[in-house]
């Protein structure tokens, strides 16, 4: 994992957060704080709004409540913090007609910045040697690995991950834990919604948010 | 700029690999050109008078064909969600998509226009004016169509709604497009019509990316 770190301490602060979808309140009065170097694990039963919470943070759903983003003590505007975010939802944004390398190259270009070589990222996602393979032929687990490989090609300080280890094998589970570990040890933050246990190293700064508890 | 080019390259690749969409488009365009003369009858003079209108209607209908997947594909597979966090704005992304959409859905029609001209018994000067008018006018059709498609992105049958939405907006393009090819009697030159066509296209290309970006932002919930 790159250890060069991110400039400026990132801080995400949410107060009084609520979410209404289809006239139904999904969650209400959620508050938390995460900073660079920390991971926030969001837990909760199905339908308690884990994905909705991530989508609110990613700016894909309207936010009711206060969400503030800071970098190095300075408040960030929406376009500013949008450029810090990697959002990996359950839709994996993979084009079947493109090869694995083309898919990653596209996202690397879209997210800008210095990119790890594509072949390298595929290697680490355990998809090495499949560069010129069409993404449409991948299995569900491999597709998920490919979408997580986006995290590797462009370092960004904020990761919003929705069920990052779904469809993955045991080795994949450990890989996801290593990814998150690497992200927080280089000063980034990760908000992860999951049902699974993520084996982060002892001493890792992990906070937990339980949704759906009154 | 790298991101802008990445959209263009990706969309061209997707079109080329999605199997025959350009060929379908051309076949549709030309078959409109075949069918109308059959319906109207083989009278040379009538055909010559109707030719500009036939070509513009064929072009309008053909550019509507590709609209249903234009934004829906990206919306359904989660690409749009991640594009919110790209290093360039959604407006710039929409602009890049417009350029590709013109290249793959309008340029082939213009290339096929000489074949259309043969079927409609067009003379050479009219053909040249037709090509010029299509070059100037199709960007507006493409941009308006894309705008309609972006509004309908979340709708199940959006592919049908988009053409209905933009049909009225396309009327000025048709009016000036036809009068650029065959000036109304007494009005003299078609120069003014060409200028209006160009203006419509410039306006559409300048403003629709903003409207499209707005629609895409609203598409999540």
Q: Contact B71/B147 with Cβ under 8 angstroms?
A: no
Q: How far is A85 from chain B, CA to nearest CA, in Å? A: 6
What tens digit of pLDDT does each residue of B157-189 get?
777 888 888 889 999 999 999 989 887 666 666
How large is the angle between the packed helices B124-151 and B107-119, nearest 10 degrees?
Answer: 140
Report which DSSP code applies to A99: B
Q: Contact B126/B178 with Cβ under 8 angstroms?
A: no
CB pairs under 8 A between A and B: 80
User: What pLDDT was estimated at residue B202?
Assistant: 96
User: What pLDDT was estimated at residue A4?
Assistant: 56
Residue of B73, B74, B221 to mutate, testing the A interface (most A Cβ within 10 Å of its Cβ): B221
Residue of B76, B81, B92, B153 to mutate, testing the A interface (most A Cβ within 10 Å of its Cβ): B81
DSSP for A143-198, please give it: HHHHHHHHHHHS--SEEEEESTTTT--HHHHHHHHHHHHHHHHTT-EEEEE-SS--
Q: What are phi and psi of B106, to 5 degrees?
A: -115, -40
Please state, in angstroms and rounded to a whole number, the distance separating the CA atoms of residues A177 and A197. Answer: 9
Find, among B122, B131, B73, B35, the residue nearest to A91 by Cα. B73
Please state, in angstroms and rounded to a whole number, the distance separating the CA atoms of residues A168 and B93. Answer: 32
User: What pLDDT was estimated at residue B56?
Assistant: 93
Buried b (16+ CB within 10 A) or exposed e, A146-178: bbbbbbbbbbbbbbbbbbbbeebeeebbebbbe
Please state, in angstroms and rounded to a whole number, the distance separating the CA atoms of residues A143 and A145. Answer: 5
Q: Please list every residue in chain A whose beta carbon sits closer than 8 Å to the beta carbon of residue B69.
A: none
Q: Identify the closest residue of chain A to B87 by CA–CA distance.
A: A111
Cβ partners under 8 Å of residue B80, min gap 6: B71, B74, B153, B216, B219, B220
Name residue A99's beta-bridge partners. Answer: A134
Q: How far is B163 from chain A, CA to nearest CA, in Å? A: 26
Q: Please list every residue in chain B whose beta carbon sits closer than 8 Å to the beta carbon of residue A87.
A: 81-82, 84-85
Please state, in angstroms and rounded to a whole number, the distance separating the CA atoms of residues A64 and A20. Answer: 8
Please state, in angstroms and rounded to a whole number, the distance separating the CA atoms of residues A172 and A168. Answer: 5
Enter the tokens of residue A198. Answer: 């993520």
User: What pLDDT was estimated at residue A3?
Assistant: 43
Q: How far is A55 from chain B, CA to nearest CA, in Å? A: 9
Q: Is A66 in a helix, a strand, or coil?
A: strand
User: What pLDDT was estimated at residue B221?
Assistant: 59
Give the C-alpha distances (Å, rounded to integers) separating B149 from A60, A133, B30. 20, 31, 24
Find, among A151, A152, A182, A193, the residue nearest to A27 by Cα. A193
Q: Please list every residue in chain B whose beta carbon sits closer than 8 Å to the beta carbon of residue A110.
A: 3, 6-7, 82-83, 86-88
Report which DSSP code applies to A137: G
Enter the tokens of residue A197. Answer: 């246990």
Q: For chain B, what is the largest distance between any 2 Cα atoms, rounded to a whole number of angstroms?
A: 58
Q: Is the pLDDT of residue B144 over 70?
A: yes
What average pLDDT does this structure show over B16-24? Answer: 83
Kindly state the helix (H) or strand (E) to which residue A209 belongs, with its residue range. Answer: strand A205-210
What tens digit of pLDDT does each residue of B80-124 get?
999 999 989 999 999 999 999 999 999 999 999 999 988 888 888
Q: How far is A88 from chain B, CA to nearest CA, in Å? A: 8
Q: What are phi and psi of A143, to 5 degrees?
A: -60, -40
Residue of B1, B13, B14, B85 to mutate, testing the A interface (most A Cβ within 10 Å of its Cβ): B85
Domain A1-84+158-214 has CATH 3.30.200.20: no
Q: Contact B102/B220 with Cβ under 8 angstroms?
A: no
Please state, in angstroms and rounded to a whole number, the distance separating the CA atoms of residues B92 and B95. Answer: 5
Number of other residues whose CB lies within 10 A of the CB of residue A179:
21
Nearest to B220 among A60, A102, A110 (CB): A60
The tens place of each residue's pLDDT in chain A, 214 residues long, gives: 344 578 778 899 999 888 888 888 888 888 999 998 899 999 988 888 888 899 999 988 888 888 899 998 889 888 889 989 999 988 888 999 999 999 999 999 898 866 668 888 888 888 888 888 888 899 999 999 999 999 988 889 999 999 988 888 888 889 999 999 999 888 899 999 988 888 777 777 888 888 876 5
Name residue A161's beta-bridge partners. Answer: A88, A192
**A83·B76 Cβ contact <8 A:** no
The H-assigned helical ranges of A19-130 are: 50-57, 78-82, 100-111, 118-124
Find, among B104, B85, B98, B106, the residue nearest to B14 by Cα. B104
Q: Please list every residue in chain A whose beta carbon sits closer than 8 Å to the beta carbon of residue B75.
A: none
Ramachandran area for residue B43 (φ above 0: left; ψ -120 to 50: alpha; else beta) = beta
Q: What are phi and psi of A56, to 5 degrees?
A: -60, -45
pTM above 0.80, yes or no: yes
Report which DSSP code applies to A23: T
- Domain extents in chain A: 1-84+158-214, 92-155
Please state, in angstroms and rounded to a whole number, the distance separating the CA atoms of residues B190 and A208. Answer: 70
């Amino acid at each position: 994992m790159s250890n060069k770190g991110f400039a400026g301490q990132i801080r995400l602060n949410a107060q009084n957060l609520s979410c209404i979808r289809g006239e139904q309140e999904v969650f209400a009065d959620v508050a938390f704080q995460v900073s660079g170097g920390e991971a926030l694990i969001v837990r909760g039963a199905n339908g308690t709004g884990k994905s909705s919470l991530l989508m609110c943070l990613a700016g894909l759903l309207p936010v009711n409540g206060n969400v503030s983003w800071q970098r190095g003590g300075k408040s960030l505007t929406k376009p500013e913090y949008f450029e810090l975010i990697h959002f990996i939802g359950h839709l994996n944004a993979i084009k079947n007609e493109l090869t694995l390398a083309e898919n990653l190259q596209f996202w690397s270009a879209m997210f800008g910045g210095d990119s790890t070589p594509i072949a390298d990222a595929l290697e680490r996602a355990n998809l090495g040697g499949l560069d010129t393979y069409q993404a449409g032929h991948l299995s569900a687990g491999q597709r998920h690995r490919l979408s997580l490989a986006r995290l590797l090609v462009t370092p960004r300080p904020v990761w919003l991950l929705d069920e990052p280890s779904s469809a993955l094998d045991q080795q994949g589970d450990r890989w996801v834990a290593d990814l998150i570990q690497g992200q927080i040890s280089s000063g980034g933050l990760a908000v992860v919604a999951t049902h699974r246990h993520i084996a982060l190293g002892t001493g890792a700064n992990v906070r937990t948010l339980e949704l759906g508890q009154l | 700029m790298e991101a802008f080019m990445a959209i263009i390259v990706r969309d061209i690749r997707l079109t080329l690999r999605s199997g025959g969409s350009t060929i379908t488009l051309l076949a549709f365009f030309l078959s409109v050109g075949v069918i109308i003369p059959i319906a109207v009858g083989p009278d040379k003079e009538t055909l010559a008078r109707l030719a500009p209108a036939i070509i513009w209607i064929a072009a309008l209908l053909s550019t509507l064909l590709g609209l249903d997947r234009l934004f829906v594909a990206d919306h359904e597979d989660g690409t749009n969600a991640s594009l919110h966090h790209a290093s360039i704005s959604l407006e710039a992304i929409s602009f890049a998509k417009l350029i590709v959409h013109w290249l793959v859905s309008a340029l082939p029609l213009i290339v096929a226009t000489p074949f259309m001209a043969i079927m409609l018994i067009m003379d050479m000067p009219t053909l040249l004016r037709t090509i010029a008018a299509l070059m100037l006018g199709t960007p507006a059709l493409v941009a308006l169509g894309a705008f309609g498609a972006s509004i309908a992105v979340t709708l199940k049958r959006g592919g049908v709604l988009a053409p209905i939405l933009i049909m009225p907006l396309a009327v000025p393009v048709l009016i000036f497009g036809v009068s650029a090819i065959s000036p109304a009697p007494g009005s003299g030159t078609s120069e003014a019509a060409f200028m209006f066509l160009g203006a419509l296209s410039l306006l559409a290309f300048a403003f629709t990316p903003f409207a499209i970006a707005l629609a895409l932002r609203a598409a999540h919930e």
